[in-house]
Amino acid sequence: MLTDYHVHLRPAGLSDSFAGAFNAANVERYREAATAAGIAELGVSEHIHRFQQSLAIWDHPFWREQALDDIHAYCEFVRERTDLRLGLEVDFVPGREDRTQSLIDSCELDYVVGSVHFLGDLAVDFDRFDIWAAGRSPEDVWRRYFETLAEAARSGLFDILAHPDLVKMWGDGRPSPPGDPRRYYEPALEAIAESGIAVEVSTAGLRKPVGEIYPAPAFLAGALEAGAPIALSSDAHVPEHIGYAYDQALALLEELGVHELAVFAARERRLEPLGP
């Protein structure tokens, strides 16, 4: 089986409408792309910050600008009007675990994808709130990123840890710490081992300046050693990106001896043989 779980029907811009993304014809475009790519298990995981209800968790200016939709209308649409698995991509906001849990619990989800995009108010992957412009050392940013990822894994809020080394997203476009990055991975890998969370292999990094799959092979090898099940996704925001460059992801997984993928329904996980 092949999966694509980390998928957005709603484009990143603000010019479109809820109805423009969440309608049968749009879902059909994604479903057709998945079928063409041999992906049987297709799910959608909209960003939490697109929903008005997310402002109860965090009132970051970016969230205030983006929080336009009703989360229950989204869940109802996916549940009642599509055959997609229902997920959410939820930021880990330290100190707001209870509020995050309440919002997750108010939806009947198949899975929750947990992400770290922000460290404090600044983002590792977004030039409008650029942590790299704040004069911090790359050592400090990388250490803090993977420590926060560890906290996210341990929080128990999430089923899948998304794009686990997103901090590398800019590639040579931002500073990175010299030498072997594995020293930064340690806290996150320990938390992955303790929590049992599934780890996402995401081909989205291939479309970004870094031009690499998330996570790096050394991180992925560490996660497998820690016993983590693997979830496979494209992080598509358009149908053309469903199953994006899966040949490269499958080659990497094969090389590392991965033969099963994590599959989710009603927040229960099972493993299925990997392959089209």
SS3 for 269?
Answer: strand
Spatial separation of the C-alpha atoms in residues 24 and 20, rounded to whole Å: 10
**Residue 37 or 271: which CB sits closer to Zn ion?**
37
Would you tell me how many other CB atoms lie within 10 Å of the CB of residue 260?
A: 15
Nearer to Zn ion, 80 or 128 (CB): 128
Q: Which is nearer to Zn ion, 13 or 179 (CB)?
A: 13
Q: Which tokens sit at 99?
A: 């509020």
* Both structure tokens of 78: 């996916």
Cβ–Cβ < 8 Å for 244, 234: yes
Q: Which residues form the interface with Zn ion (CB under 5 A)?
A: 89, 115, 235
Q: Which amino acid is at 248?
A: Q
Q: Rounded to the nearest whole angstrom, what is the least distance from the CB of residue 199 to Zn ion in the complex?
A: 14
Secondary structure letter of residue 239 according to DSSP: G
Closest CA relative to residue 73, chosen from 11, 12, 14, 21: 21
Distance in Å, CB of 125 to Zn ion, minimum: 8
Least distance CB 83 / Zn ion (angstroms): 21
- Residue 90 or 150: which CB sits closer to Zn ion? 90
Closer by beta carbon to Zn ion, 4 or else 235: 235
State in angstroms the smallest separation of the CB of 178 from Zn ion.
27
Q: How far is the CB of 236 from Zn ion (least distance, A)?
A: 9
